[in-house]
Amino acid sequence: QKTWRVAVLPGDGIGPEVIAQATRALDTLAASDPGLALEYDTFEWPSHAWHKAHGESAPADYLAQLAGYDAILLGALGDPGPIDDANRYLLSDSDSLAPLLEIRKGFDQWVCERPVRRLDGALQYLADPRANDIDMLVIRENSEGEYVNQGGRLAQGTPNEVVTQTAVFTHRATDRIIRHAFEQARARVALRKVEGRERDFGGKAAQVCLVTKRNAQKFWGDMYTEMFAAIAKDYPDIATHHELVDAACMKFVSHPWAFDVVVASNLHGDILTDLAAVLNGGMGVSPSANLNPSDRTRPPMFEPTHGSAPDIAGQNRAGPAAMLLTAAMMLDWMGEADEAAARAGQRLKQAVADDLAANADQRRATDTIGDAVIAALEKA
Ligand code: IPM
Ligand code: MN
């Protein structure tokens, strides 16, 4: 039997509060299923508190420390206050990437998956009833693109200053992210069949929509478009579509139910998934995973889409659903190699969904929601 070793990184702000509910839920799941073995170590870094005490947001060898774990579960990173020298650790600069980006890069977590499936009882911002059946998966390229942070400042601070911020797109990374999108589309067809909620895209059961800005950014747009068309030939069962990112933003709001799998660059994916989180019912219910599907020996990182919400930190007010659903995504990932973990992921998702449905429109404390989910897990 596999014992999964998880590095727990509570981080900043509401991170520690919501992650406490997730580890309680995981403990409950493991206690009730002898087939599931989870072990975790909790680290005080990366965090602003660590930065204050040590002058850096994590120990110099922190990536090496994390490398031995099967998975990383992260609460949230980010500190309130103005972006001054003390607070800039989350931002990348030319010498050091932010820990978040460093972990993604360090373990080559080249895909970020952010599912969009509104649960009953979650906030509904859209009036059209079709918005209740949204079923999207946004796949964000997570290793390069606009996040490589190459470029520089010439004549800095003068009226002649010129700044370049270069985006980099490689054949290799484009190939793997687009193929991954098609693979996920296929997996969704199988799942939807089991669940009896098949969809139709002009005779095909799933669709991949590529997002670019090829009308303004030609080199990248051309390569993505050509490679998308070539790879699509290997997936004749999957429908294809292309949107420009500005139009995609509009359509995510006007008729999001028309989308299935969406694949986008790092920055476009970042922006689109904040928008998509609203379709889920908000940041409070939007999970996320950073994965390296080509090398399962390197730890993936599971973190909610939300940030550290400093305005409500320490008040027992943050909704833990996103963090709990993120923990469920971790169990799903483990579940690809461990039946007990797969079962646990299903149970946790169901418990969160039931809790939301039963308590729609109610303001409840963080630990009250955690208690309710745990009580449901103990019964089920
Ligand atoms: C996210 C966040 C990060 C990103 C920031 C904090 C660097 O917005 O995970 O979506 O842009 O990737
Ligand atoms: Mn973001």
* Least distant ligand from the CA of 267: 1
Give 129-152 pLDDT, tens digit per residue: 999 999 999 999 999 999 998 999
174 and 212 share one domain: yes
Of 280, 315, 333, which closes a domain?
Answer: 280
Q: Is 270 in the pocket of ligand 1 (CB under 6 A)?
A: yes
Task: Please enumerate in sequence order all residues whose Cβ is within 8 A of that of 275, keeping only pairs 6 or more positions apart, or say none.
Answer: 249, 252, 253
The predicted pLDDT at position 90 comes to 47
Assess if residue 263 is contained within a domain.
yes
> 269: CA distance to ligand 1 center in Å?
10
The strands making up 239-244's β-sheet, listed across from edge to edge, are 37-42, 3-11, 71-76, 301-302, 289-291, 111-116, 136-141, 261-264, 207-212, 239-244
Q: Is 76 in the pocket of ligand 1 (CB under 6 A)?
A: no
Q: Is 12 in the pocket of ligand 1 (CB under 6 A)?
A: no
Assess if residue 212 is contained within a domain.
yes
Which residues are near ligand 2, the ion (C-beta closer than 5 Å)? 270
Q: Where are the alpha helices (DSSP H) in 233-365?
A: 245-254, 266-280, 321-335, 339-358
pLDDT greater than 80 at residue 361: no
Q: Residue whose CA is closest, atom 8 of ligand 1?
A: 270
Q: Residue whose CA is closest, atom 10 of ligand 1?
A: 270
Of 280, 303, 325, which closes a domain?
Answer: 280
Task: Count how many domains the chain has.
Answer: 2
Question: How many whole angstroms separate alpha carbon 227 and alpha carbon 220?
Answer: 11
Q: Ligand 1, from 270, 275, 283: best to mutate by most atoms within 8 Å of Cβ?
A: 270
Tell me the pLDDT band of 362, cut-offs 50, 70 and 90.
Answer: confident
Task: Please enumerate in sequence order all residues whose Cβ is within 8 A of that of 159, keeping only pairs 6 or more positions apart, or say none.
Answer: none
258 and 148 share one domain: yes
> 270: CA distance to ligand 1 center in Å?
7
Burial class (CB in 10 A: 0-12, 13-18, 19+), 225: middle
Give 207-265 pLDDT, tens digit per residue: 999 999 999 999 999 999 999 999 999 999 999 999 999 999 999 999 999 999 999 99
The predicted pLDDT at position 80 comes to 61
Domain, as residue range, for 44: 1-110+293-380
270 and 311 share one domain: no
Beta-bridge partners for 240: 208
Question: How many whole angstroms separate alpha carbon 68 and alpha carbon 63?
Answer: 9
Question: How many whole angstroms separate alpha carbon 302 and alpha carbon 71?
Answer: 8
The predicted pLDDT at position 50 comes to 87
Cα separation values, 81 from 10, 15, 17, 88, 189, Å: 20, 17, 20, 10, 45
133 and 272 share one domain: yes
298 and 350 share one domain: yes
Beta-bridge partners for 163: 153
Computed over every residue of the chain, the mean pLDDT equals: 93
Atom of ligand 1 nearest to the CA of 101: 7
pLDDT greater than 60 at residue 119: yes
Q: Residue whose CA is closest, atom 4 of ligand 1?
A: 270
The predicted pLDDT at position 310 comes to 86
128 and 216 share one domain: yes
Assess if residue 240 is contained within a domain.
yes
Atom of ligand 1 nearest to the CA of 92: 7
103 and 142 share one domain: no
Cα angle: 243, vertex 245, 247; to 5 degrees = 65
Tell me the pLDDT band of 55, cut-offs 50, 70 and 90.
Answer: confident
The predicted pLDDT at position 192 comes to 95
Q: Is 100 in the pocket of ligand 1 (CB under 6 A)?
A: yes
Q: Residue whose CA is closest, atom 9 of ligand 1?
A: 305
26 and 99 share one domain: yes
The predicted pLDDT at position 78 comes to 82
Task: Please enumerate in sequence order all residues whose Cβ is within 8 A of that of 309, keeping only pairs 6 or more positions apart, or say none.
Answer: 13, 14, 76, 318
165 and 272 share one domain: yes
133 and 276 share one domain: yes
Q: What is the DSSP letter of 157?
A: T
The predicted pLDDT at position 260 comes to 98
189 and 257 share one domain: yes
Atom of ligand 1 nearest to the CA of 104: 12
Give 290-345 pLDDT, tens digit per residue: 999 999 999 999 999 999 998 899 999 999 999 999 999 999 999 999 999 999 99
Cα angle: 75, vertex 79, 85; to 5 degrees = 140
pLDDT greater than 70 at residue 81: no
The predicted pLDDT at position 96 comes to 36
Cα angle: 12, vertex 309, 366; to 5 degrees = 90
Give 16-41 pLDDT, tens digit per residue: 999 999 999 999 999 999 999 999 99
Assess if residue 116 is contained within a domain.
no
Of 280, 309, 324, which closes a domain?
Answer: 280
pLDDT greater than 50 at residue 8: yes
Q: Ligand 1, from 12, 79, 101: best to mutate by most atoms within 8 Å of Cβ?
A: 101
Interface confidence (ipTM) of the complex: 0.99
320 and 198 share one domain: no
The answer to whether the beta carbons of residues 345 and 34 sit under 8 Å apart is no
The predicted pLDDT at position 164 comes to 97
Atom of ligand 1 nearest to the CA of 78: 6
Q: Is 138 in the pocket of ligand 1 (CB under 6 A)?
A: no
The predicted pLDDT at position 321 comes to 97
> 274: CA distance to ligand 1 center in Å?
10
Give the length of the chain: 380
Read off the CATH number of the domain in which 318 is found: 3.40.718.10
Give the lowest-confidence range in 8-12, 57-61, 344-348, 370-374: 57-61
| 214 vs 58: which has the higher pLDDT | 214
> 267: CA distance to ligand 2 center in Å?
8
> 380: CA distance to ligand 1 center in Å?
35
> 84: CA distance to ligand 2 center in Å?
21
> 101: CA distance to ligand 1 center in Å?
8
pLDDT greater than 50 at residue 87: no
Place of tokens 């139009």: 247
